[in-house]
Every structure is written in C-alpha cells, then in structure tokens.
Amino acid sequence: MKYIFLFVSIFLTMASSWSQDFEIKGTVKDATLNDFLPGVNVVVRNQTRGTTTDFDGNFTIDKIKVGDVLVISYLGYTTKEITIKNSDFLTIMLTEDVSALSEVVVVGYGTQTKKEITGAVSVVDAQTIEELNPTRIEQALQGQVAGVQITPESGSPGSGSSIRIRGISTNGDARPLILVDGNVIEDLSVINPGDIESINVLKDATAGIYGVRAANGVILITTKTGKRNTDLKFSYDMFGGFQQTSRKIPVLNATEYALITNEAFAAGGQAIPFPDVSRLGEGTNWQDEVFQNAPIINHNLTLSGGTEKSSYSFGTSLLTQDGIVGGSKANFKRYTTRVNFDTNLLDNLVLTTNLIYTGTNNKNLNEGGLGSVLFNAVNNAPTFNVREANGQFSLAEGLGNEVINPIAQIADTYNTTVVNKIMGKIGLKYSFLNDFSAESNFQFNYAEVQGRNFQPTLFYGSGKVFNNPGRNVLTVNKDIFRDYTWDNFLNYNKTIGDNHNVSATLGMSVFQTTGLFSGGNQGFFETPIDFANARIEDTVDQRNELQLSGRANQFDERLLSYFTRLQYNYKGKYLISGVLRRDGSTKFGPDNRFGFFPSGSIGWVVSDESFLADNSTINFLKLRASYGILGNDRIPSNGFRGVLGGEAAYVFNNQLNVSGRAVGVLPNPQIQWEQQETLNIGFDLKLFDNKIDITADYFTKTTNELLLQPPASGILGVAAPGSQPPVVNAGTVENEGVEFAIGYKNYVSDDFDFNINYNVTFLENRVLSVNNGTGFVAGGGFGVGQDLPARFEEGQPIGYFFGLQTDGIFQNQAEIEDHATQLNAAPGDIRFVDTNNDGEITPEDRVAIGNPIPAATMGLNFSFNYKNWDFNTYAFASIGNEIVRNYERVQPLVNRSVYTLNRWVGEGTSNTVPRVTTGATLNNQFSDYFIEDGSFVRLQSLQLGYSFPTGLSERFGVSKLRLYTSVNNLFTLTKYRGFDPNVTSGSPVGSGIDGGVYPVPRTYLLGINLKF
Amino acid sequence: MINKNMKIKYSLFAVIALIFTNSCSDEFVNVASFDENSEEFFNSKEDYDAALVGAYDLLQSTYLNVMLGEIASDNTLAGGESATDVPGIQEVDDMTHTPLNEDLRNIFNWMFAGVNRANYILEFKDKTDFPGKEGVIAEATFLRAYYYFELVKWFGDVPLAVDTRLLFGDQDIVERTPKAEVYAQIEIDLQFAAANLPYVQTETGRVTKGAAQALLGKAYLFQNKFTEAAVVLDDLIANGPHDLLTDYTTMFENDNENNIESVFEVQYIDVEGAGFGCLQCSEGNVAVGFNGIRNYTGPLFDSGFSFNIPTQKVVDAFEVGDGRKDVAILDINAWANENAGVSFVEGFEHTGFYNRKYIARQGDSNIGDANLTNPNNYRAIRFADVLLMAAEAHNRKPASDDARARGYINRVRDRAFGDTDHQLSVSGAALTDAIANERQLELVGEGHRFFDLVRTGRAAQEIPGFTTGKNEVFPIPSIEIELAGNRWNQNPGY
C-alpha cells in the first residue's frame, strides 16, 4: 500500500511537472565558511540558459521542469549538479576544490580544465606574482616553472631577460611566442606585473595550435578582469625600497697593484712604472665609486566589479627605479593604465574589451662588455684619483684605448628612450544552437619609440676610442611599430549521452606587423648645451643617414593561419586531442610559404578507474603523452629574395655619395621554417588527501631544418658593407630532458598552514648536424682580436666553448723543454695540452673546454601562514653551466683581480695562476684558464607579511590591510668570481661569456596591500 | 528579441564566411619588399649609377691591402700595442702567417665582394639603354679588373666570374681559375675600360682612361710582358693629363688630394662614423689611424695605433739629399725634440719611425671613431709609379731601350733631389737594380714593395723569414676552402 501511494504520488508529481513549468529559487554558499557566494554560474544542463548568483548568493531561474539538472559552477570550487525534484528553495553548498582540477587553463583559442589537459602546461597565478614583487613579468617565471629558464640580460633598470622553454632549440632567435590576452607582445618591459591574472606556459605539442610560431614554446598571459555581480572593490599595492649591488669583484689596491705591475714590467724586461710604491696606500676603489644604493618604488591601484550583465576592471601603476650604477642616470620609469570591460550585449552575446596604455622612460649607460662602466671600474688603475686636484676627472692614461674613467663616463652619458604604447582587444563571443559558440577577437599594438642621445665633446685620455674631439652631437630618432592579430573561431562542445564529451575548434587568424623608422637625425651644437634643452631643430649640419641613402625605412610581415582542434574524452577518463594548423608566412618564398603543423595528445585519468576509485593514498593520477611538429619562423624578412638593402657609399668630388645600391642579406630562395618534432610523456599525481602534488615529464625536442645564418663563402660577396650571409636551413638540434615538480601543502589548522614546492629540470642539449661546409658556426667574443670562442658544432651542445686545454703551470725550464713546443714559454707560464700530439702548441690543439648550458636548474618555494603572519621564501639554482671570465682587459697597466696575489713567482709557488709579465706569452690565449664553474644557488626572495585582523581594519572601511617586508636576491652561493653568474648575453652561441655583466641588484623592500 | 538574435547570428555567420573565403586569400602573405629586389633592378640610368657606387665602395676596404702589403715587405714592421695586437698583421710581418689568418681572409672576402658588385652591373649590362652607358660599363669593368688584380697578387689562382655574380650555391661548384686566365681577363677588361673612358672625368674619384692604362701596364709588368707594358705606359705618359707634382712634400697632405700626379686615387672622407665591427664599412682611411702615433699629443698629427713601423733599414736606404725621406719617414724622437708639448707612447717593435705619408693628422672632423675615419685618400697609382714602371718595361723588354728608361727614372730622381745632379747613367742589369731601388724609395709606405720584390724574385734576399716557393702568394683562408666545399687545393707550402 505504501508503495502504491508512493508510485501514485510520483506519477502525479511527474504528470503535473510535465504539464507545467515552475520557477526555482536558491542560494549558493561556501561549504566551509558558510558565506554567500556571488557570481556563481547556475545553468540548466543541455540548455543554453542560466544565470549567476547576485551579491547575496541568490538566484532565480524560471521554466524549470522536474528532472532538469542544474549545473552550479564557480572558479576554484567543485562543480555540483542538482536534479530538480520539486520547486523547493535550494540551498547549495559548494566545496572548495582542493585539487584545483577544475581550474581553467588557457590553451590558445579556448580553455580546458586542468583535469582535461593532456599536454605539458604550467601555470603561474596572480598570487605568486604578488609574492615576488617583480618589476618585469619574466621575474615571476624565474625558477617557478619546471622547464622554463629565465636569465636576466642585465641587472640594470628596465632590462629584459632571456626566456628559454625546454632548452635552446635553435641558434637563431629562440624567444618563445608571448601573447597577452591574445595580443603578441615582444617586449615585456611594457607589461605591469600587477595587471596579470595568470601566466600559462605551453611547453610541448600543446603549443601546436600556434603552428609556425610554436617551436620555442608559447606563453599565454591573461590580464585581470572583473567578476559579475560583485561590488566595486579597490586594491592598492605599493612597495618601495632600495637596491644595492649584490657583489663587487675584489681587485688589487693601489700598493698591491703597483708592486705586481712593477713585477710584470721587470719580467718583460721593461723599466718599472712605479719606482716608489711607499705612498700609494689603498688608492681608489673604482667599484666603490661606481656602485650606489638606488631607490625603487612601485604603486599599483586596481578597481574592479561587476553587475549582472557586465564586469569591469581598471588598473593603473607607476614604477620608478634608479640604477645601482649611475643612479638617476640609469633611471627607468613605467606608467601603465588598463581597462578591461566585458558585457552581455544579449544573453548569448558577450563583448570583451581591454585597453592598456604603457609609457616607459629609460636612461642607459654603456654596459655588458668592453667599454662598459663596470668593465672600466674593474680595470681602471687604483692609483688614479676620481678627480684631479683641479677638479677635472682623471684621465686613464696608459691603460689602452678602451679603458676610461667610469665616473667621467657616467657624467658624460646623456640619453633617453621613451616608449608610448597602446595595446587593445575587442572580442565578441556568440553562443548558439546550444553547443556552438563563435568568437571574433581583434587585438592590436601601437608603439612609438623615441630616442634621444647627446654626446658632448669628450676627452678621456690620448687615443681613447670614446673620445669625441669633434663637436657636440645630438641624435634623435622615432620609430613606430604597429601590429594586429585578428582571430576568428568556432567552438563546438557537446556531451553525447552521458559519457562522450566532444569539443571542436575551427578557426583562422591573420597577423600583420609593420614598422616605420625615422633613422637617426643627427645634428651638431658648436657650443656645449644642456641635454634637457637640446633640440634637433637648433643644431647645424643635420644629417640623416637612412634618409640620405634612400633605403627602406619600413617593414611589413604577415601571417595567415587556419587551425582546427578536435578533443574527445570518454567520461573524462580517456582523453584524446588533435590539432592541425596551416600557416602562411611572409618570411618564406613562394615555394615554401605555407606549412602544415600537426600535433596530438592522449591522456588517461587512471584514478577514475574503479581499481583506484577508493584508494586512500592516490587521489588523482593522470598519464599523458603528446607529439607534434611545430615551426619557427623567427628570421629576418626577405631571406628568400635579394633585396638591395646593403651599404653602398663612395666619395665623388670630395662629397660622400650614399645613394648607391647593393644587395644586403644574400638570398636563399629555398629557405623554409624550422621544423621541430616534440615528444612529451608525463604524469600528474596527487597523494594523501591532495596534500602532495607531483608532475613529471620527459621530453625530447628535435629541431630539424634549423635556420642558421652561418658564415658563407667570401666569393659570394658576403663581406661587403651591409651584406650578410644567407639564412639557410642547415642543422639539427636535440634537447632532451626531464622535469619534475612536487608540492606539499598542509592545512594544519585555521591558524597554520604551509606550502613547499620544488621543481627541477634536467636538460641535455646536443647539436646533431651542421651542414654548412665547415661543420660549425663560431660566435661570441673573447678579449680583443682573438678567435671566436664559442661554437655551434655537431656532437656538442649549442654554444660550447672551444679553446686550448691547460695543464697547470711550467715550474721550470726543464718542464718546458720536455713539453711540446710552446711559443715564448717561460717558467710560470701556462702549460697547454698538445691535444693533437704534433709536438707543437697551435690553434689546432683547441678542443671543447666548457658548456654554457646548465645540466639542471631548480626552484624551491616555501611559505606558511600563521595567524595573521605570512612568510614566503623562494630560491633557485643552476648546476653545471660554465662561464668565461672576460671582464679583464689584458693590458700592462690595468688593474687585476685579487687572485693574482696567488700567482706563480717561483718554482712550486702556484700551479693555477701564471706569472705576470708584459712580455709575449700565450697565457692570454683563450683556454680553460678563463673558464669557471657558473653553478649557483640564489635566495631570490624572502618575504614576511602581517595582515591586520579583519575586525580592526574593517572599522576603517578596509577589508584587508597587509604590511610586508621583503628582500630580493639576498645572497648567492657560487664559486664564480665575476659579478653575477646568472646573467646572459641572450644569444645562443656566445652566451655564458662575461664581459663585466651588470649584476642583478639586491633589493630591500617595504610594502603594503590594501583592499577596500 | 529573436529577431535581433537572428540578425546578429546571420551577420556573424556572414563575417565568418567572408573571412574564410574572400578577404584572406593566400595572397595576403605575398608582400613586396620595401627595398628594390635585386633581380628587378637596372631599369634606369639612376639604377646603374647606384649599383656602380656600390662597386666603388669596396675600393675603400683596400686600406688593408696597402697596410698589410707594406708590413709584409722589408719596409716596415707590424708594430701595434703588443705582440698579440691583431695577430693576423703580426704573422704577416714575421712571414709566419697560416691559412687561419683573419686579415688575409678579410682581403680575400672584401676583394670578392668588389668583384661581385662589379659583376652585378655587368650581368645586367644589356637590360636598359641610356646615353653614356658605355662609360658606366667601362667603370664597372675597370673595378672588376682592379679587384681581380689584387686577388691574383695576394692569392694566385682564384675563381673567375665574368659578367655574372657568384650566387649562393655556386660556392660548391666553382674552381680556382689559373692565374694566367685571370690575368687574361684583367687585360681584356682594362683594354675595354681604357678604350671607353675619358682621361678626365666630370667627377673626381671616378676611374679614368689613365687609370685603366696604368693598371694595364702594371698587370703586364707583373706577367713580365714588358713590351706590352712599355707601349701602354708610353701612351699614357705621352697623351695623358698627368705629370709629376713639383713639390713632393705636399703630395700626401689631405688638401692636395687628386693632384696632377694622381693617376688613380682611392677616395676617403671624414663625414661618417665608423666602428670596429665593420671596418670595410668606414668611409675613412682605416690604415691612417692604424699607422698613427701611439697615444700622441702635440702639433700636426693625431694619435693612432702605431702599426706599420718603418725599419731602420729602409730609413738608411735613402741617400743624403733625398727630399723624399722626411716626407716618408717621421723620426718621432726628433719631432718631439723640435716641438713643444709632444708626447707619445712607444708601441710594440718601436723603431722611432712612423710611416709619415699615411699617419693621422689633425684637421679632420674627428667623427667617432676618430681612428677609423681619417679622410686622407690613398694615392693608388701615382704618375711617378707610372714613370718607374715604364722605365722598368723599357729596361727589361727584349729590345731594351735604356735611354728612354733612364729618361723616365731621372724625371723621378730630379724631383726627389730638387736638382739634376743625381741623374743615373747606368744601363742593363745595373739600371734594373737602380729602378727597383728607386721604386722602394719613391713608393715606401704605399704598399707596393712586397709585390715588387716577389715579381722580381728578390723577396727571399730582402724579407726576413720569406720562404721561396711558398711566400710568393698568401694562403687561401682555410675557412674559405671549407665554405666552398673543401675542394680547392691550398697554395704550396701552406
């Protein structure tokens, strides 16, 4: 009877529900905190309608039938599905998704949840960025993401970093593709890190959706947006502090210098330059003179909110930073203003817009090698005062033609580079026919770069190459860069039955970048003038080389792409995905202009299988594999055709005629894109209540048809002014590696939780072939006038060091006589190894003596929260890379590093540091004597914060008030003797050669985060 | 609402359809270059003129041929800052140069760059006609001969390309052409140039009939074709506009460029900056800065890098009363004693002497890098050289005419001593030696000596370290052999 009643009542209910729709109301709350959740998506499954919760977490949906399923989803929470049984008020508790598997990851022309991802994709979120206080966005990636190596190109304000994803796959331009909200950004200095919501790095074939630009990896940056149905929120973040040098290279003081210099002159049979050393004392420490504490300050104001139909976000920031060398003479300023706005024009039509304005103003000093301020500070003699008694700067007489007084150099440097840039996006997304959506996004960049440089008449000493005995020169230039990307694509998402999830993307994209160069307008002032008032209009004898020559002052590069992606999964357990992209690039000739780039990936969520379903240890396990063919077209334009861009100038009638025409880069009609085969196998694992999170990947990347510009035969005229060898496809490089990341987080109590994350990348780089006649390409530079020290050669890593091998120091004449013939050898000189056993030390004895690529890089992050205190520290390390010491100018009278104190001065005194002499020796030939271990561990960040209790701060209308102090780059453990082991020249062949790099400063900061 | 929805839907479809079909055909990525395409050039006189400027441009890079040629001889030492300052130059001085020498590679590459730019014009010589085209073609032809003459002098057999560029890919095919064939082409080119060029050009700096005749005479001389040399040089001496400059002391000063004695002069100017990254790009005479006095301060001269240091031997070779000595040789210690405020630093292999004809002087605009932008022209072929070549040709030709030879050499000597008391009266082999000696003294510092010694077979006796059968030519840079597919044989002995 009871059953009959039940049956009947159900039947009646159902019947009534068939016959009538009803309205349903509910509220959504956080299961843990019991707070109302605004902005939660509530949609009716298999229908394209739904709503979001209001400020109080309430929602109303009409036309509901019994049996309808409501899908309630909210970022960071586990999605819940509720089958409607009646029209009762619903109270839905959402639990925070501790596994974050539902986190949405941007993968290019769409998103996927973390669970669905079948490739190697890493994410850095806004919180990490906040904790690191980066002034540039690259700094937030440093050591955070396995497989991504960030190396600063300098520590000076505003300078960039080299970004390498999974090794160096080309000896050409190895920069990844970087998209900010779909907009191509080549120069990250214009991005305010405070505007960034997340950074996603596509490391494997997942990047294949970007086809011919994907081979160096893709970084997708998303800016902050508002949330629907939220009140207007302000946040203000500020940090300020000072920077100081992280290291000074110990050099000789005046007395030591004079004694050792005398010794060198005596050994060379010359009169000693300092007959009386008794009154020299310590002398001038040029590095103390050059380095200073420099302020840095950053303000960032964000406001955001949203209504039911729209959301908005606005941000503005100001960064100003002086240099630890040159102070305000090396200042970098950045102003940014950003607006993001999106709105539902219709229920199913969303307009998304953003606009970012950036202005930067940068002043530069000569840095990074021979002639740089720091090079001069290391090499200038300590016996000179900064200024002479008459107040004039001292002249660095006798120190060769390149070493000058660095303080005078700073004082005489006048330049500014001003960048004004606007980046924007307009996008429309239209959803239709339940399962389809169409998107059209237009992104653009417009930048004006204006440079001003003033060179007064200068005299640094006789014969100095930096002298300007002529006239006061002002040079101004203005270049304009424009580009746009227009993406149009169609998405299809459908769940067929309960188990088959299909999605498909089909789209196209056009990209065009153009530029217009003014050339340098140069003019002269007959009398010195204040730089601030120097206007080109007031100069005489104005000249513009580019305009005079009549050569092209523009470029126009384009890309036309079609792409499709198909994804299928069965119950979210077996995942498969395929991508095909066709790209057409203006970089290549008619025969090779278009290419197809296929890639695919599979995944298996093992933990969803029944045998692991209730496993108490393993919460989640996914196995992944991907394979694809990606391209790289980062080469200069017009490589396939001969273009008359060379230099052709001669003198007729005693007038320079610059109107000549000659071929520039030699053409190679056959060039095509680099083709990279990339394979990735990995797994994601979560253990012990999701406390431990492990991701591991093994990868190989083989780049074929490597685009090189190797030296070409001179008979082709390649050495003509303005000419260059053709770009050819002439090599194969392989990168093989393993990435491993492990995280542990423990929510011990409401008062205490902590987090540890560690990642490591092992990488091996090998050049498999170089087909250019010589079998190698040389690069880099060592000393003055020496052979190129780095090579790109078969069987070796890219950019390995090539030079003589040493075997200690000759202790006596007998050892010299027993050894292979070595020119000018005397006791105390370096003993070189006769590697080819021909009885003579010659350039033929050069071998591989070092590798600039680290064998392993790693990062470690530890943070905890205790009551109102938070602590965060972060370190990274690089193991196994070598650095060439090239900041010493070999000149009889320049200063030397303190290790010279341990030189050879007689039999048995040293077997590592050779004697000093001004005579001819081979000691300064490039050899492993100049190669040092560049491994290091750096404590990059240490931060301690205190958040005022909510009740206290709310009394002042503030929802959050946090104060913190932090130190960046506190210390570095390394054996390397130069300024900084973690700075690179950026170019693959020639990296790791240290010409006196500008060290990354140590920074002490105080900061405040305010939300109201 | 539905209507609006439909409208939007259809317009979106229309937009997408448009994008996929019309607006972005593959033609979108077919973009012309902003600079002219090399294969679509030569459509006007201006195009030919512009390409010709490009062919002239490489003449300026011959500063290295001049400097290194002088250093290779017994006239000068390498000098510089130290024994390792520009190793390529030091090695050539010591005759220890190997196929790895970077400076020799520069000469090889720069001269071939000149050849290719001249051949670019000649490859397209029939494309467009305009009045005066023969002159343009003749200039280009001369330039090709000039560059090839340098190449055979330095390297012997070199790949010969006539009226066609060597394009990427050709390096794997072309062979070294025997020296005799290269000379044959040089003769054809210079005969053509001489026939189609005027003795006086409207613009100074352009090659003339005289230049072509003088170079042709020199090319004959280098092949011991003395009779042919005598004919063409006599013609130039008799009919050309050139004469000896009366005052030898003003010959090499910047304000006396393109004087009556200049048969051919490489033009330099000081209006454009330059850097070490591309020495061949400089519009200035790089050798002048390299030769300059190290860390000099004082009157008249500017500082430089103290290369190309005259030996005591060449200083001693001058007879008493020879006015050329103080023009060619600067005794820096004497100069410092005579002038207040002179200071300098002794460089490597300091002898106390500088190559005064081509060292840096004050008075130019000093545009940076001041060492690389000195404006002084290189007097490539002087009328004195022509007279001495003619004298040698008449003396050494089968039916020798020593009287005429003496006439020519004595014109040079009269000017040198400022009187007629030093005229020569010798004949035969003694006259041959006297002419050779006169060439050394007249042309010291101008880069001719080494090649004169080689072609007359006296290099081994005069140049320390010179190996007969090897050092007559320099090695083909080994990297160039490799870049050309490793097929060429190296010159003997290297």
Query: Which residue in B has a C-alpha nearest to residue A923's C-alpha?
Result: B84
Name the β-bridge partners of A583: A561, A595
Interface probe, candidates B2, B26, B27, B38, chain A, greatest A C-beta count within 10 A: B38
Q: State the residue for tokens 């109590």.
A: A749
Write the pLDDT tens digit of every residue in A562-584: 999 999 989 888 999 999 999 99
Lowest mean pLDDT among A127-136, A258-267, B392-401: A127-136
CATH number at residue B97: 1.25.40.390
**pLDDT (0 to 100) of residue B57:** 96
Strands (E) located in A606-691: 618-632, 650-652, 655-657, 674-687
In Å, how far from its chain's centre is CA A988?
A: 15
Q: Which residues of A touch B106 (CB under 8 A)?
A: 719
Q: B140: helix, coil or strand?
A: helix
| Candidate from B33, B269, B480 with C-beta closest to A638 | B33
The alpha carbon of residue A164 is apart from the nearest alpha carbon of chain B, in Å, by 28
| Candidate from B15, B113, B297 with C-beta closest to A462 | B297
Interface probe, candidates A464, A650, A840, chain B, greatest B C-beta count within 10 A: A650
Q: Do the Cβ atoms of B33 and A488 come within 8 Å? A: no
| Candidate from A432, A463, A647 with C-beta closest to B295 | A463
The alpha carbon of residue A306 is apart from the nearest alpha carbon of chain B, in Å, by 24
- Which H/E stretch holds residue A311? strand A310-323
d(CA A322, CA A312): 34
| Candidate from A551, A654, A719 with C-beta closest to B35 | A551
**pLDDT (0 to 100) of residue B19:** 57
Q: Which residues of B touch A661 (CB under 8 A)?
A: 36, 41, 47, 50-51, 53-54
Q: What is the signed CA dihedral for B412, B415, B419, B425, rounded to 10 degrees? A: 0
The CA-CA-CA angle for residues B369, B370, B372, to 5°, reads: 70
Count of CB contacts below 8 A, A vs B?
Answer: 281
Q: Is residue B192 part of a domain?
A: no
| Candidate from B30, B58, B168 with C-beta closest to A666 | B168
Write the pLDDT tens digit of every residue in A469-485: 778 889 999 999 999 99
A364 with A153: CB under 8 angstroms? Answer: no
The alpha carbon of residue B293 is apart from the nearest alpha carbon of chain A, in Å, by 9
**Domain end position, chosen among B376, B397, B428:** B376
Q: Which residues contact A548 (CB under 8 A, 6 or more apart)?
A: A658, A659
Tell me the CB-side half-sphere exposure of residue B324, using CA atoms within 13 A. 24
B57 with A650: CB under 8 angstroms? Answer: yes
CA distance readout (Å), A53 to A57, A74, B194: 5, 10, 94
Q: Do the Cβ atoms of B296 and A551 come within 8 Å? A: no
CA distance readout (Å), B431 to B391, B402, B462: 9, 8, 19
The alpha carbon of residue B421 is apart from the nearest alpha carbon of chain A, in Å, by 39
Reply yes or no on domain A104-229 having CATH 3.30.1600.10.
Answer: no
Q: Per-residue pLDDT averaged across A43-64, rounded?
A: 80
A421 with A445: CB under 8 angstroms? Answer: yes
Q: Which residues of A touch B268 (CB under 8 A)?
A: 651
- Which H/E stretch holds residue A220? strand A218-223
CATH class of domain segment(s) A16-94: mainly beta
Kind of pairing, strands A183-184 and A196-202?
A: unpaired
Query: Which residue in A has a C-alpha nearest to residue B41's C-alpha?
Result: A644
The alpha carbon of residue A563 is apart from the nearest alpha carbon of chain B, in Å, by 12
d(CA A456, CA A61): 74
Q: Which residues of A touch B15 (CB under 8 A)?
A: 440, 488
| Candidate from A455, A653, A660 with C-beta closest to B53 | A660
Q: Is 60 exceeded by the pLDDT of residue A58?
A: yes
Q: Is residue B487 part of a domain?
A: yes
Looking at residue A470, its amino acid is: G
Query: Which residue in B has a C-alpha nearest to residue A668's C-alpha?
Result: B168
Q: State the residue for tokens 């770069």.
A: A449
The alpha carbon of residue A559 is apart from the nearest alpha carbon of chain B, in Å, by 6
Q: Is residue B391 part of a domain?
A: no
Query: Which residue in A has a C-alpha nearest to residue B42's C-alpha?
Result: A661
Q: What is the CA radius of gyration of chain A?
A: 32
Q: Do the Cβ atoms of A469 and B370 come within 8 Å? A: yes
Q: Is residue B312 part of a domain?
A: yes
Q: Do the Cβ atoms of A714 and B108 come within 8 Å? A: yes
B263 with B243: CB under 8 angstroms? Answer: no
Q: Is residue B450 part of a domain?
A: no
Query: Which residue in A has a C-alpha nearest to residue B171's C-alpha?
Result: A713
Q: State the residue for tokens 């300024």.
A: A979
**Domain end position, chosen among B320, B349, B376:** B376
**In terms of Cα–Cα distance, which of A785, A920, A891 is closest to A376?**
A891
Query: Which residue in A has a C-alpha nearest to residue B17's C-alpha?
Result: A488
Per-residue pLDDT of chain B (494 residues; tens, 9 = 90+): 456 666 666 666 666 565 555 456 888 888 888 888 999 999 999 999 999 999 999 999 999 999 999 999 999 999 998 877 888 999 999 999 989 898 999 999 999 999 999 999 999 999 999 999 999 999 999 999 999 999 999 999 999 999 999 999 899 899 999 999 999 999 999 999 999 999 999 999 999 999 999 999 999 999 999 999 999 999 999 999 999 999 999 999 989 999 999 999 999 999 888 888 899 999 999 999 999 999 898 999 998 999 999 999 999 999 999 999 999 999 999 999 999 989 898 888 999 999 999 999 998 887 878 889 999 999 999 999 999 999 999 999 999 999 999 999 999 999 999 999 999 999 999 999 999 999 999 999 999 999 999 999 999 999 999 999 999 999 999 889 988 888 999 999 99
Q: What is the CA radius of gyration of chain B?
A: 27
d(CA A111, CA A107): 5
| Candidate from A349, A638, A843 with C-beta closest to B100 | A843
Q: Do the Cβ atoms of A719 and B280 come within 8 Å? A: yes
Looking at residue A94, its amino acid is: L
Q: Which residues of A touch B50 (CB under 8 A)?
A: 648, 659-661
Q: Which residues of A touch B297 (CB under 8 A)?
A: 462
Q: Do the Cβ atoms of B168 and A772 come within 8 Å? A: no
CA distance readout (Å), A666 to A237, A328, A721, B107, B161: 52, 43, 12, 19, 17
d(CA A584, CA B480): 36
Ranges for all domains in chain A classified under CATH 2.170.130.10: 104-229
CA distance readout (Å), B170 to A592, A709, B177: 22, 17, 14
Q: Domain residues for B89?
A: 41-143+157-177+464-494
| Candidate from A553, A657, A726 with C-beta closest to B168 | A726
User: A271: buried, middle or exposed (CB in 10 Å: 19+, 13-18, 0-12)?
Assistant: exposed
Q: Which residues of A touch B120 (CB under 8 A)?
A: 662-663
B151 with B220: CB under 8 angstroms? Answer: no
User: A991: buried, middle or exposed (CB in 10 Å: 19+, 13-18, 0-12)?
Assistant: buried
Q: Which residues of B touch A718 (CB under 8 A)?
A: 109, 113
d(CA A425, CA A225): 13
**Domain end position, chosen among B356, B376, B396:** B376
Q: Do the Cβ atoms of B366 and A468 come within 8 Å? A: yes
Q: Is residue B297 part of a domain?
A: yes
Q: Is residue B93 part of a domain?
A: yes
Interface probe, candidates B7, B27, B57, B281, chain A, greatest A C-beta count within 10 A: B57
**pLDDT (0 to 100) of residue A542:** 86
Write the pLDDT tens digit of every residue in A913-937: 999 988 878 888 899 999 999 999 9
Q: Do the Cβ atoms of B479 and A774 come within 8 Å? A: yes
Query: Which residue in A has a C-alpha nearest to residue B365's C-alpha?
Result: A470
Per-residue tokens: A612: 């692991």
User: A773: buried, middle or exposed (CB in 10 Å: 19+, 13-18, 0-12)?
Assistant: buried
Number of domains in chain B: 2
Looking at residue B76, its amino acid is: T
Q: Which residues of B touch A660 (CB under 8 A)?
A: 50-54, 56-57
Lowest mean pLDDT among A167-176, A347-356, A823-832, B337-346: A167-176
Write the pLDDT tens digit of every residue in A511-545: 999 999 988 888 888 888 888 888 888 888 888 88
The alpha carbon of residue A891 is apart from the nearest alpha carbon of chain B, in Å, by 9
Query: What is residue A712's DSSP assignment?
Result: -
d(CA A362, CA A419): 9
